[in-house]
Every structure is written in structure tokens, then in C-alpha cells.
Chains A and B, each alone.
Chain A
Amino acid sequence: MDVEEGTENINLNTDIIDVRKTYDYLRKCQTHLVQSSEIATACVCQNLFKLDYPFGATRSDKDYLVANTVHDIMSICMGGPIFENWHRGLENYEQITKKIVKESSEIVNTIIKDTSEIAHRENRFVEDTFELQVNDIYNGLIMGMTRRLMKKHERPSRVLTEVTITNIKDHHEGRIDAILEYSNGYGLLDWKSYDLSNTISGREKWQLIANTLLANFRYRRSEDDWTGHNFSCIVHNSGVYFPKAETTRKEVERIKTNRKFAHMILCGERVRVQRPKFCPVCDKGLEGSKECLFYQRDARLAYEGKLPAQYEKMTKQFFAKRYAILKERAETHLHKHVVFSLISKHGEEEALRRLEKIGILCRGYSFDFDIDEKVVFSRADDNIPLEPRRIVRIIGIEEGKSILSCINEQASVMEVRNNKITLSFRSKIAVRRAKRQLFHLPIILLRDELNLTRSMLRPIHQFHKLAADVLIPAELLV
């Protein structure tokens, strides 16, 4: 009937206007999220964080082929052979290690083969010992797990790997290598492909604890609720490291302080930087120090009023650009902030309904099939508000969990045809993982964005240094 249609239209419009207003409002706000790894960097040294943001002074193009491959293997084997062979209080851990290694050989070999194929296709440098290294590290990690972890802890009821959790309220996001779920709580695993006893900065520990706060948020909806937390540990090449409960508690404050610091820096606020008494990274002569000294000198010369006018003008432009880029980084988190804000305002169901109406998210998909890194989903009708090349977050709704902490993966839309949508995942491994832990859940596709800001900051840093080289008189540079 006409009248009813009219009313429906008005509702439709007010709903949409409400969502749009939220977008407009949030666009003017700071929607930054700090990653656990960044908090860990700030914990090591606040200057070191600034070298990343806003300066863009660190190189991000190192090829971590071995480490990434081990990560991929662990993310699949954890829910397979490792989980299946988990026995508490093992005496004969060597035998079980061998068994797990044997049973995972298919997974390991496939991932090694795929990875080297892709690396060769892209003409990346692959060491001759690549396969050997990956196998070595993988065996070391398994040995560490059977010897230390399985000794102390029961087999979990479920294992999740590579879980991204977003806690908007505390501006925090992170990706946890593995979560072990128990009837009474959860444990966290983080794997490192190197020997932890040789590192000194404590970065790994801080990242783990920062991630534990996110796990608290996922299971208890508050990062300060530790009632479900059983343990957190780092599995590394020569064992497992469990931070003590007192250490964890003590470090939480440090994590929060540095999270706030990092957030304020990203928002472009002026913050006093605490230089560590001991330079754990740079006193060892590792990368970072030269760049750090450059910016310290820059700041000193500016303070003393010795910088040439042309140089000052140019660096002002560089900083304006840097903050414009940071603003863009914030915008990559805009959709998540809108979801959070609408849920706080209207409750989850109503918020989702409105977001669905405006096309920010869509529901009702079921998994059809997959080929390599492509996955096809379908739904009952053909009104799919997405289009090729858009980035989406595929969220598997878990009961009792906040949407942004549910299991998810990122993918890009390849094709939309009638009631089918083809998504391209990051890798075949991501698809394999998702098939195990995500696709059987009710699926939501939420619009998302890629964060490419790091690579944009880097040339600005290069030109900032170049400007200094050309425009600052040599005697001042000494």
C-alpha cells in the first residue's frame, strides 16, 4: 500500500541518515588504533616508536620469508596434529614430537612448496637452506611445546590461530598467534622463530602482554578482567617462556602508558618522550640509532634557532604531509569505529540492521567452495552491496563475543555475480585456516580498508634527510 511504502521510505532514510551522520562525526574525530606490536616498540623506547610514526624512518621491506612460513605452518598445524596429539604431563616428549612432526609433514611440505613457488615467481631471494631452516625451526617449536607446554597444561577444548581482536574503547588492536580455549578460560601462545634467550629488549614480552589484554577483552569484554586468563607464553626455538604473574601485572601499567603515548603521537599531539636509561636497541648499535640521532639533532637545532629558514619551511611541509598520512591511517579504522559507536547507541541487533541497510555490512552468506586463495560465498538474494576490489573483513559471529573480537580474516572482493561473491584471501593458508575456524559460523562481511601508510611515510623521511644534507650548513651537521 502507498501509505505503508511511504512510511517505510521515511524509516529507511532516517536510518541511513543516522549512519551517515555517525560517519561524518567520526571522520572529524581521531579513529586511531594502536597495534600490540607498536605498543611493544614504544615500551622498548618511545623514540623508537616515533621513528616509525610519524617519522617513517624505519625500513619495512625486509623479507621475513622463513619466519612467515613458520608462522603459516604453525597456524595450520596447531589446530591439526599438535592439537590431536596433545597429552598433559608427557614423559616421552621426544616420541610425541616425532609423531607430530611426522603427521604434519604434508602440511609443512605443501606450505614450503607453495611459498617457494610464489617467492620464485616474484623473483624474491630464496636461500638454498630455506626448507632446512623452516623444518629446523618448526621442529624446535614443536619440541618446546611438547616439553614445556604440554607438560603443564591440558589439551584445550578448541584452538584458534591468527585471531585479530579490536578493542575500540581502548584504541587497541592486535593479532594473536594462537588462543587455546578451556572450559574455565583461555591461554595465549605467541611464536618466535628465533631463540628468545639471545634477545634483550623485552619487546616480545610486551607484545604478549598487550595481546593478553585483548584476549581478556574478547572473553570477558574488559581488558582488566583477568578471571579467565590461564596463561600466556612465547614458544621459541629453544623452549617456552612464561612471564610470571607478578611480571605481567607490573607490566600492564607500562603497556597502558605506552599505548596512550602511541595513540597521542598518532593523533598528532605533543607528548614528552621518555628516553630509556639504557638504550636496549640502539646502544647495541642496531638499526634505528642513526635515524634517531638525526631527529634529535634536528630538534636541537630547531630549539636553538639555528635551522636555515628554507629548511624549516620545507620540514614544516614534511610534517604536515606526515600528519595527513596519519589521518589516513586513522581512516582505515573508520568502519570499525562506526560499528562500535552504533552498537553502543542502539544495541547490537539494531546497529547491525542499520549498517546492513546502508550497505556497510552484509549477512546471510554461506560458504560454497574454494580454489587456491579464492573463496566463493552465496546468499539467498542478489543484493550484495559490495564491488570488486573492495576490502572486507569476514567475521564469524561467535555467541557472547563483541563483533570486533570475533574470529575474522581480511580479503578483497574479486567478483560479484548475481547471488555469489568471490573473495580473494591473502594466501591459500589463510583460506585453509578460515575453513577450519571461521566458515562454519554465521558470516558477516564488513567493509574494511588496507593500511598502506607506512610505505608512504618512508619517502618523506628520505627527503627530509636529503633537505638536511643540502640545506643545513656542514658545520652544523657535525
Chain B
Amino acid sequence: MTIKLNPDQSRVLNWRIKSGGVAGVIGPAGCGKTTTGSFLAVKMICEGYAKNVLLVAFTNSAANEFARELSMVLGPEGSKFLCVRSGYAPGADPRLPIPFSNNIELVRAKKIVICTTQSLKRLSASIRFENMIIDEAGIERLEHLLSPFALGINQLGIHLIKENISYEANNIIELASKCGIVATVVGDPKQSRPIGLADYDLSAMEWVLKCARYDTLYTTHRLPDKLAMLVDEFADYGGLNSSPEIASRRFEAIHDIDENFIEILNPEVITWVNLNGNEMMAGPSSWYNEVEAKACVRICCELKRVAPSKSISIVTRYTEQRRTILKYLQHLDIESRVLTTTGALGTQADIVIFSLVRNNPERLVGALGSLQDLNVAISRSKEKLIIVGSFEMMLNGVTSSYNLNPRHKQNFPQKLARLVDKKYGMVVEAPKILYK
């Protein structure tokens, strides 16, 4: 099988294959973090740079993504021979050719081991991995990073350090590198939520970026040109661009669009449907917005009718809104993915409808205002992004101190509203039918 990588990916691969220690690779949406990670693992093994490689992800679905990618690179036979999926049996995708096992001898005999963070404890501490690739999505915190690291410690190396009397390591990541751990952490600090403001609360990726070397992948194979530009400017990636094959991808309906929806389902990549529904409290910290929920379902319905082959995801920051939308979808017997921003990490769809939910006279946007949540929501779609919610609310939104992280003091809802309105998309008034 011929391996096709873009120049960014090749650069990262060539760098990581020869350099040891812990390092980071920043991969914005659709830049092929999983692909790069899997290729790296295969190259390490095939070219003899490592005897074994551990691939770690936080969720089972992300671990399955690694497995899927590997079986594509190596083919069914190759992946069956070289790889093993370990951890929690029901979480592994049985359709993939890679066998599942927690049997230590079997795991030891394989070259590439795929496992989730929580299940690493099932792997014996007696196995040492010479190299590891860690998908940071969902791995929010340093301790999630430490459990795979623990399997890469080179005890022999520590004795050598002692003999050379060089007692130096300024931080935990440096210490890990000193102890023989070779790990590439792939992720995106602008997509994973920060934990808090204190130093020890940095997310796993932020720890790596703060303490180790890193590189960035800049070519997205998911976002069409305007969306890539919006995301780039919104999250300050400093040069994210669409790969040429997909840059001009646009939404096209195959049936006539109902006149109520003509403005919304235009060929623009980004459309903001300005809709004024009331937010409602639910649960200890969640919110929902009935009008928005119904509007999203209506738009989804129309999309299913005019472009039945397209995949659609509805994304929202709040679990309660997700539940409300699902309820209406079930009433109408429509199948569609509804995800919270946390659940949406790592997913993609042709068309994404983003429900904002928050709308109040005080203009408090709360947790919705975080860079990470907004960034995830706007960077899932391959053709079209439809934002549903009050435009004025976001334009004048007041972000809570939570979002005023000293590391990036910005009003993100406002930034998003301005960028969509002035540069990359269009704002349309919601048709009356969406209020019914």
C-alpha cells in the first residue's frame, strides 16, 4: 500500500522518528492526527526504530479509530499479525481485523498495542514500550498522561543517569524524557477544555507544549476554505488551510428547497440563523432552549429531505439541550447524531447544526463562551455549518471569569459573531416557521 501524507505530516513523521523524549504534535480539526499517529507507529516498527509501540486514546471510539487507521495502512493480514487491541473487551470494534487480548504473553508478542487510558492498568507493568503515541483528545489531565508513561520507563536508563550524576529535571515531562520515555502526544489545546487556572491544572496537552518541543499540522482535510479560515482566525492557529482537493466543497441540495429554508440552506459555507428562543435552566448546571431545539430539528428534517445522502450532526454545549433535541427527533422518527461539544471531539459530518442555547437579557454566555467548546462546534463540518441562536446575544455576550483565562484573554463568542458576520459567513433572520 502506498502511503500518502501531506508535507506537514511527513515533516512531523521524519522529526519524530529520529528524536526521542516526549514531544507534542498539534493537530487542528481534520488535520489527520490519528493518521499521523498510526503512520508513525507503523514506520517505527517497519524501519526498526522501536521494538514495540503503544497507541493510547482516552475513549474506546478513539482507540478504535487508531485500529481502523492501522488496518488500512497495514491491510487486514498485516494488522492482524502486528497489532493487538487491549483493554475493555466490549469497547473494541469487532469488525476490525485486529485481534483483542489482555493476555500478557500475546500482547508482548505483538509490535503495536492499542489501548485506552483507563484500561492500561490491565496491561502488566512488566511490559515496557519503547515508543508511544498518545491521542490527547479527552485525556484532559496530566495524570492521564502519566499512566501510559509509566509503561515506558527505562529502569536501566535511570541507573545510568545516577552514575553520570546529572540530577536534573525541571518538570514532570522532562523527568519522563530523562527516564527513557519516548512519547508523541497528538492533540489540540484549542479543542480540549482547560481544567483550571492553576499550573497543576493545565491540560495534558498544555503540559507537553509548555515543557517539550512540538510541531503543528496546518493542512485540514475536512474544513472547506472559508471554514478553515474562520477556524484559523477564531482560534489563532497561525496558518490553518484547506487541502486543495476539498477547499471548494459546497453544499448542494438534490431536491427543491422549501421557500422557508432557502435562505438558510444557501451555498454559503457558514450561515448563522438568528433565532430568539428563551433559555431554560435544567440540572445542576445545564441549560436548554425549546425554540432552538425545535428549529434545529426542523432544519434537520428539511436537510434530510433535500439532501438525503448527507450526514448531519447537531452539536450543542449542553447535555440538556442534546436531550431535548433527541426527544423531538424521536417524536418525528428522524435519525440524526446529536452531540455535546465534548462528545463531538474527533467526529465529523457533512453538515453541522450548532445550537447555542444561551439567550438572556443579562447576556451571560456562561460555559458556552469557552474557546475550546466553540472551536469544536464550528470545526466539525465538511460542507456547511449552520449556527442556530441569538446573534445579538453572542455579539454582546459577557463571558464569565472561567473564560477569561489569563492565557488567552478574549471574548470568544463576540469574536465568532464578528468573524461570521463580517468575513466568512452570513447572518440570516430565522423564518417564522422556526418559531412555531
Residues of A within 8 A of B (CB): 13, 16-17, 19-20, 23, 60-61, 121-124, 308, 310, 314, 317, 320-321, 324-325, 338, 358-360, 382-383, 385-387, 416-418, 452, 455-460, 462-463, 466-467, 469-474
Q: Can you identify 26 A-B contacts, CB atoms within 8 angstroms?
A: A20-B281, A121-B89, A122-B88, A123-B100, A310-B167, A310-B169, A314-B169, A359-B283, A359-B320, A383-B327, A386-B323, A387-B326, A416-B323, A452-B118, A455-B121, A457-B143, A460-B146, A463-B175, A466-B179, A467-B175, A470-B158, A470-B167, A470-B175, A471-B168, A471-B169, A473-B167
Any A CB within 8 A of the CB of B170: yes
Considering only residues 160-197 of chain B, those with a C-beta below 8 Å from chain A are 161-162, 167-172, 175-176, 178-179
| Best-buried of A383, A456, A459 by chain B (most CB within 10 Å) | A459
Any A CB within 8 A of the CB of B199: yes
B313 → A minimal CB distance (Å): 16
B332 → A minimal CB distance (Å): 12
* Residues of chain A contacted by B322 (CB below 8 angstroms): 387
User: Contact: A360 with B179, CB < 8 Å?
Assistant: no
User: Contact: B284 with A358, CB < 8 Å?
Assistant: yes
Q: With A321-B143, A359-B282 in contact, do A462 and B201 touch (Cβ < 8 Å)? A: no
User: Contact: B167 with A308, CB < 8 Å?
Assistant: yes
User: Contact: A23 with B161, CB < 8 Å?
Assistant: no
User: Contact: A387 with B323, CB < 8 Å?
Assistant: yes
Q: With A417-B330, A462-B146 in contact, do A470 and B161 touch (Cβ < 8 Å)? A: yes
User: Contact: B153 with A122, CB < 8 Å?
Assistant: no
Any A CB within 8 A of the CB of B142: yes
B230 → A minimal CB distance (Å): 30
User: Contact: B284 with A470, CB < 8 Å?
Assistant: no
Q: With A123-B102, A358-B282, A474-B162 in contact, do A385 and B169 touch (Cβ < 8 Å)? A: no
Which of B143, B153, B281, B327 sits near A460, CB closer than 8 Å? B143
B127 → A minimal CB distance (Å): 14
Q: Which residue of B lies closest to A318 (CB)?
A: B172
| Best-buried of A382, A457, A462 by chain B (most CB within 10 Å) | A462
Q: With A358-B282, A452-B118, A473-B167 in contact, do A459 and B147 touch (Cβ < 8 Å)? A: yes
A73 to B118, CA, bound (A): 28
A383 → B minimal CB distance (Å): 8
A362 → B minimal CB distance (Å): 12
Q: With A123-B101, A466-B179, A470-B178 in contact, do A314 and B281 touch (Cβ < 8 Å)? A: no
User: Contact: A462 with B150, CB < 8 Å?
Assistant: yes
User: Contact: B150 with A320, CB < 8 Å?
Assistant: no
Considering only residues 249-295 of chain B, those with a C-beta below 8 Å from chain A are 281-285
User: Contact: A456 with B283, CB < 8 Å?
Assistant: no
* Residues of chain A contacted by B14 (CB below 8 angstroms): none
User: Contact: A385 with B282, CB < 8 Å?
Assistant: yes
User: Contact: B284 with A310, CB < 8 Å?
Assistant: no
* Residues of chain B contacted by A382 (CB below 8 angstroms): 327
Which of A13, A121, A456 sits near B143, CB closer than 8 Å? A456
Any A CB within 8 A of the CB of B15: no
| Best-buried of B118, B153, B323 by chain A (most CB within 10 Å) | B323
Q: With A124-B102, A310-B167, A321-B200 in contact, do A466 and B175 touch (Cβ < 8 Å)? A: yes
Interface of A is mostly: helix
User: Contact: B281 with A16, CB < 8 Å?
Assistant: yes
Q: Which residue of B lies closest to A320 (CB)?
A: B200
Q: Which residue of B lies closest to A472 (CB)?
A: B167
A317 to B201, CA, bound (A): 10
A403 → B minimal CB distance (Å): 18
* Residues of chain A contacted by B1 (CB below 8 angstroms): none
User: Contact: A123 with B106, CB < 8 Å?
Assistant: yes
User: Contact: A466 with B158, CB < 8 Å?
Assistant: yes
Which of B100, B172, B285 sits near A463, CB closer than 8 Å? B172
* Residues of chain B contacted by A317 (CB below 8 angstroms): 171-172, 199-200
Q: With A382-B327, A466-B158 in contact, do A13 and B169 touch (Cβ < 8 Å)? A: no
B106 → A minimal CB distance (Å): 7
Any A CB within 8 A of the CB of B156: no
A320-B200, A456-B144, A459-B149 given; 20 more Cβ-contact pairs under 8 Å: A16-B281, A23-B284, A23-B285, A61-B121, A122-B88, A324-B200, A358-B281, A359-B282, A385-B320, A385-B323, A416-B326, A452-B118, A455-B118, A458-B121, A463-B149, A466-B179, A470-B162, A470-B169, A470-B175, A471-B175
Q: Which residue of B lies closest to A122 (CB)?
A: B89
Which of B178, B285, B327 sits near A20, CB closer than 8 Å? B285
A353 to B176, CA, bound (A): 52
A23 to B283, CA, bound (A): 10
* Residues of chain A contacted by B102 (CB below 8 angstroms): 122-124
| Best-buried of A321, A325, A386 by chain B (most CB within 10 Å) | A321
User: Contact: B201 with A459, CB < 8 Å?
Assistant: no
A72 to B107, CA, bound (A): 30
A418 to B102, CA, bound (A): 38
A-B CB pair tally, cutoff 8 Å = 121
* Residues of chain A contacted by B162 (CB below 8 angstroms): 469-470, 474
Interface of B is mostly: helix
* Residues of chain B contacted by A314 (CB below 8 angstroms): 169, 171-172, 175
Q: Which residue of A lies closest to B144 (CB)?
A: A456
User: Contact: B143 with A320, CB < 8 Å?
Assistant: no
Any A CB within 8 A of the CB of B198: yes
User: Contact: B121 with A471, CB < 8 Å?
Assistant: no
* Residues of chain A contacted by B161 (CB below 8 angstroms): 470
Considering only residues 98-142 of chain B, those with a C-beta below 8 Å from chain A are 100-103, 106, 118, 121-122, 141-142
B327 → A minimal CB distance (Å): 7
* Residues of chain B contacted by A417 (CB below 8 angstroms): 330
B246 → A minimal CB distance (Å): 32
* Residues of chain B contacted by A469 (CB below 8 angstroms): 158, 162
A321 to B199, CA, bound (A): 10
A61 to B125, CA, bound (A): 11
A333 to B178, CA, bound (A): 39
A456 to B200, CA, bound (A): 15
A69 to B130, CA, bound (A): 37
* Residues of chain A contacted by B118 (CB below 8 angstroms): 452, 455
Q: With A310-B168, A382-B327, A470-B169 in contact, do A61 and B200 touch (Cβ < 8 Å)? A: no
A250 → B minimal CB distance (Å): 39
Q: With A61-B121, A123-B101, A462-B150 in contact, do A321 and B142 touch (Cβ < 8 Å)? A: yes
Q: With A320-B198, A320-B200, A417-B330 in contact, do A471 and B167 touch (Cβ < 8 Å)? A: yes
User: Contact: A13 with B330, CB < 8 Å?
Assistant: no
A336 → B minimal CB distance (Å): 13
Contact code string B303-335 (vs A, CB < 8 Å = 1, else 0): 000000000000000011011001100100000
Which of B158, B171, B201 sits near A324, CB closer than 8 Å? B201
A324 to B196, CA, bound (A): 11
* Residues of chain A contacted by B122 (CB below 8 angstroms): 61
* Residues of chain A contacted by B153 (CB below 8 angstroms): 462, 466
Q: Which residue of A lies closest to B87 (CB)?
A: A122
* Residues of chain A contacted by B200 (CB below 8 angstroms): 317, 320-321, 324
* Residues of chain A contacted by B179 (CB below 8 angstroms): 466, 470
* Residues of chain B contacted by A474 (CB below 8 angstroms): 162
B308 → A minimal CB distance (Å): 23
A412 → B minimal CB distance (Å): 12
A358 → B minimal CB distance (Å): 6
B178 → A minimal CB distance (Å): 6
* Residues of chain A contacted by B201 (CB below 8 angstroms): 324
A308 to B175, CA, bound (A): 14
* Residues of chain B contacted by A359 (CB below 8 angstroms): 282-283, 320
A387 to B88, CA, bound (A): 22
User: Contact: A19 with B169, CB < 8 Å?
Assistant: no
A197 → B minimal CB distance (Å): 33
A463 to B101, CA, bound (A): 27
A61 to B147, CA, bound (A): 14
Q: Which residue of A lies closest to B106 (CB)?
A: A123
A60 to B167, CA, bound (A): 31
A384 to B301, CA, bound (A): 23
* Residues of chain A contacted by B283 (CB below 8 angstroms): 358-360, 385
A381 to B141, CA, bound (A): 40
